[in-house]
Amino acid sequence: MKAAFLQADRQIKIRPAVIIKLIPPYNDFLICAISTQTHLFVEGLDIRIEKHSADFTSSGLLQESIIRVGMLASVPKNMLQGAIGKTSQPMCEQILRQLRNFI
């Protein structure tokens, strides 16, 4: 899916994102951003989605990207702009592991 993220320059950018968790009681979603700026990869935090990766095709991404595990947002459902693909259960577990290890 896609969602609006506040950038360092205070601009809002619509970008692909991964839903991490539903947040009660208002049912907002904790999401993390996906970026094509692979040169910004942070070892031990970000996750690469390369063209040969098992999750690349199912992700719906058009080019190699990184899941920016440290770029989190909490957004209401009406701010999400539709699904573009899916991540596998192992990828979801890796995202949570990276986030846990970082925190």
Segment 43-70, tens digit of pLDDT: 999 999 999 998 999 999 999 999 999 9
The number of domains in the chain is: 1
**pLDDT above 90: residue 8:** no
pLDDT of residue 19: 94
Phi, psi of 75 (to 5 degrees): -135, 145
pTM above 0.85, yes or no: yes
CATH number of domain containing 86: 2.30.30.110
**pLDDT above 90: residue 5:** no
Q: Which domain holds residue 77?
A: 2-102
90 vs 15: CA distance, rounded Å: 23
